[in-house]
Amino acid sequence: MENTFLGCGGGISGGISTVLREENNMAMSSEESSSYPDEAELELGLGLSLGGGGAKSKSKPPLPAVAAAGPWGQYARILTAKDFHSVVSTKESSSSSSSSSVTKTNNNPSCGVKRTAEPSSPPGRSGSSQVVGWPPIRTYRIQSLVNHAKSPMTEEITSALDKCKSNNTIVDKTNIGSNLNRNVAKEKGLLKKPSLFVKVNMDGIPIGRKVDLNAHRCYKTLSQTLDEMFKLSAAVGATRSNAEEQVVMTKPSRLMNVSSEFVLAYEDKEGDWMLVGDVPWEYVPSTSHYIFLTDSAPLWLVYVLAKSIKFIVFSSLF
Amino acid sequence: MDPKLKKTKNSSSNSANSPDSTHSSFPFPDEVLERVLSFLHSHKDRSSVSLVCKDWYNAERWTRTKLFIGNCYSVSPEIVARRFPRIKSVTLKGKPRFSDFNLVPQHWGADVHSWLVVFAKVYPFLEELRLKRMTLNDESLKFLATSFPGFKALSLLSCEGFSTDGLKAIATHCKNLTELDIQENGMDDLGGGWLSCFSENCSSLEVLNFASLNSEVSFDALEKLVRRCKSLRILKVNKSITLDQLQQLLVLAPQLIELGTGSFQQELTPLQYEGLGIAFSNCKNLQTLSGFWEDTSLHLPVLYAACPSLTFLNLSYATLRSGELAKIVAHSPNIRRLWVLDTVGDKGLEAVGSSCPFLEELRVFPADPFEQDLHHGVTEAGFLAVSHGCRKLHYVLYFCRQMTNAAVATIVQNCPDFTHFRLCIMNPGERDYLTNEPMDEAFGAVVKTCTNLQRLALSGLLTDLTFEYIGKYAKNLEALSVAFAGSSDGGMQCVLQGCPKLRKLEIRDCPFGNAALLSGIEKYETMRSLWMSACNVTMSACKLLAKEMPRLNVEVMRDEGSDESQADKVYIYRTVAGPRRDAPPFVVTL
């Protein structure tokens, strides 16, 4: 693949200091079973993702979550197609519901959004840092807002609602703390709105990039950004509403190489691989794992971890 | 005290050359006293009357027809039945208010069935039942429908456990139904068939509110119902009713006083549009408008003809922008109560300030309550604008993301008559965004200036100073809601010691502990209830409180996995009924 990474447009800016915070959080947040730290940890700064663990450490993460082994090792981890397979097959075997392997992503009948948080899901798992019962608005009104505009907040609200309903004995003291932390951050003139910075690593390149998922309103701009960063060209499955209408494929957003296409897939909380084009973009920052892959050579696999969102790009999947 | 009562007392003294008033038995037969007391309606007045002496207590209990029970566990159905033999109307409230926000686990209680069973025996002529935060199932509704032949009015707000099947029973069996008011309940909507269960003979409906049910109802059945119920004055339909259907209903019922629209989104032909406008303008008595589900901006002008007579406009489900709201309020100069979504922005509220000089109540709800972005919604500027233009404002519920102490101080200077001040700065612990200080001075200004304040809800970063202010100045405060506030036990102590009229105190996520809890040990019997969750209260303090105050129920709910000694959720209320017998396993009564 092209080693044009270093020549990409867009500087690598931002401080390193916040990266450290994020790193610790990544380590924490990678554990699936524990309650997720909330959005405080997502105030990630943009920084150089220096591969402290070595640029080409090919450790094999059996699960995406576990990929975040050590604080710095994740930066430069590179997954090969084999890793991806093992990831998928592991997920497939471990998940109870039918998951889609990469080959099936395009016509997986179970593609869709399963957004109801299971009763047993830990409290912090929903997309935003919800404090139970706050702001004090009646459930009926919240649900009306959800149905009303099919708003982007749907998933967070319904998952928050479900979480509230099933977990209302759990008081999110952590969230209070984090909310106050966020206020502290605000006071210090830091980010007003949480940015969801995601590291993007490309196979063969030791130094990664960062992308703010929250700065993008749709797949197109994300793919364009990544395109610029990595000189890819991408086609992204069109968003479709929750009503599960026809999926329409959009045209390739950029054209570096006509034959190079990628689709976004992700691994949701239940361990199922889902074609991400089904999901409106607004859900992206708050869903668990993402895989961004191409289905033809060159193949980019972008791999994102929940909450400490990290992209790993690699190639030659199939 | 009721002036009527005073007058009759004086006149009776004069006319009879009465013995001095210290005489314990009244010189008039009971029937006279009872006749006099039958004019008293307020339950608070009646409570006062019943405390005068034994004769008055008896006269009052024989003449009371309306029962109001603010906490269903404060008394038992049997006690009620013994005391009041002639009840026709019952209002029952159940769960603590924080249950609306999912702080109370499922199956907590407040089931109405045991009440209904007793009522069926003792009050066979019961006519009205109004429930708030109670649990009831379809069986109960069926029992209700079949046990009280004269049943007329059912109102359910924020209740749960039932479904539209229960409504079917009501519609089918209550031949004299005048009111069916179903609002914002946690119910199962299994379909709209219940509406078709009203018999062809039913023509007595005056109030029909099914706005919060989503299933489609038979328009044919609804149309026929509206046609034959000539006394219908409140009609609130649901989203399944389209605009042209609404128009047909309005033509049939121009006498409506309150209307809740259905879906406002339909594409109308010019003729339909005109017809709708005419229908609205023919509703000369319309005072309240609500509904407006979905994006409604398209057809708002049809309302303009009806707006001048409006006193209450509920747009809190309509994502209107500032311009759209501005146009509506420009046509509605007589508005007293206005509910909106914060999509109208500060600009929309400015328009309100300049168009609605008689505004008394404003509620601004958040369209995106979980969105962190500061650029959405309303700020202190909108509130300020309203306060400048609407000097009669006395009730406010305001959700915002930023506020300043100075703004609130100005607001209460403009509107010193606040009785209900509920400010929700949506991020917990948020400071004054300009000065970075806590919001103590804001609420200090509120309690200092608004001497009639009855209800206060706090938000933002608050230290004990806020509570010192409240304890010192809020002498008429009856209900206080606290979240994520305070620095120490002293805060809660100030309130408990300083607010003589306090009846309801609900606290969550505050650093108040045992000392604070126990400082109110004498006060809780004068209050309806105290709720404390996620504070620093331990079981030992609760046990002590329970031991010292046998007429209080001290109920504790513990969270999963928390320390044995922590009392995570505490609900304390006065009761004459003793510990409740239907407490689920997770509720421990000490």
How does pLDDT run across B152-191, given as a tens digit for each residue? 999 999 999 999 999 999 999 999 999 999 999 989 999 8
Å from A133 to nearest chain B CA? Answer: 4
Q: CB distance from A114 to chain B under 8 Å?
A: no
* Partner-chain contact A193 B568, CB within 8 Å: no
List Cβ neighbours of B123 (8 Å cut-off, separation of 6 or more): B81, B86, B87, B88, B90, B148
* Partner-chain contact A145 B557, CB within 8 Å: no
Structure tokens at B1: 């005290």
Q: Which of A96-105, B40-49, B365-374 has the highest mean pLDDT?
A: B40-49
List Cβ neighbours of B335 (8 Å cut-off, separation of 6 or more): B310, B311, B312, B313, B329, B356, B358, B359
Which chain A residues in 219-278 lie under 8 Å from chain B, judged by CB atoms?
none
Å from A182 to nearest chain B CA? Answer: 9
Q: Give CA–CA dist B331/B319, Å, rounded.
A: 19
Q: CB distance from A74 to chain B under 8 Å?
A: no
Amino acid at B99: S
**What is residue A149's predicted lDDT score, i.e. its pLDDT?**
52
**HSE-up of B538 (CA within 13 Å, CB side)?**
7
Give the E-state strand segments of B97-178 in sequence order: 128-132, 153-157, 160-163
Amino acid at A216: H
What whole-number percentage of chain B has pLDDT above 90?
A: 79
**What is residue B86's predicted lDDT score, i.e. its pLDDT?**
93
Give the E-state strand segments of chain A in sequence order: 197-202, 209-212, 262-267, 273-275, 289-294, 301-304, 310-313
Single pTM value for the model: 0.68
Q: What is the ipTM of this complex?
A: 0.87
* Partner-chain contact A176 B484, CB within 8 Å: yes
Least confident piece of the model among A303-307, B9-13, B336-340:
A303-307
Structure tokens at B533: 């969750």
Chain B contact set for A141 (CB, 8 A): 184, 316-317, 365
* Partner-chain contact A160 B560, CB within 8 Å: no
**What chain B residue is nearest to A145 in terms of C-alpha separation?**
B367
Structure tokens at B538: 């331990």
CA dihedral B443, B449, B450, B456 (to 10 degrees): 10
**What is residue B265's predicted lDDT score, i.e. its pLDDT?**
79
Q: CB distance from B30 to chain A under 8 Å?
A: no
Closest CA to B140 of B187, B176, B96: B187
Most distant CA atoms of chain A, gap in Å = 54
Chain A contact set for B371 (CB, 8 A): 153
pLDDT tens for the 318 residues of chain A, in order: 444 333 333 333 333 333 333 344 443 333 333 343 343 333 333 333 333 333 333 434 333 333 333 343 333 333 344 444 433 333 333 333 333 333 333 333 333 333 333 333 333 333 345 688 999 999 889 888 777 655 433 344 444 444 444 443 333 333 333 333 333 333 333 333 455 565 555 556 666 666 666 666 565 666 667 666 666 543 333 333 333 333 333 333 443 333 344 444 555 555 565 655 555 555 554 443 444 443 333 333 333 333 333 333 333 333
Chain A contact set for B185 (CB, 8 A): 140
Q: CB distance from B437 to chain A under 8 Å?
A: no
Å from A15 to nearest chain B CA? Answer: 23
**HSE-up of B65 (CA within 13 Å, CB side)?**
12
Å from B563 to nearest chain A CA? Answer: 13
* Partner-chain contact A138 B369, CB within 8 Å: no
Lay out the sheet containing A289-294: strands in order across. Answer: A273-275, A262-267, A289-294, A301-304
DSSP letter (8 states) at residue B525: G
Distances (CA, A) of A3 to A46, A56, A167, A230, B368: 22, 15, 49, 8, 43
Q: Give CA–CA dist B511/B516, Å, rounded.
A: 10
**What is residue B405's predicted lDDT score, i.e. its pLDDT?**
97
Find which of B97, B100, B101, B487 to mutate to test the A interface (most A CBs within 10 Å of its CB).
B101
Å from B166 to nearest chain A CA? Answer: 19
Yes or no: say if B179 and B155 are a contact pair by the CB < 8 Å rule: yes
Instruction: Return the ∠ at Cα B389 (arms to B348 and A135), rounded to 5°.
Output: 50
List Cβ neighbours of A221 (8 Å cut-off, separation of 6 or more): none
Which chain B residues in 114-153 lie under 8 Å from chain A, judged by CB atoms?
none
DSSP letter (8 states) at residue A46: P
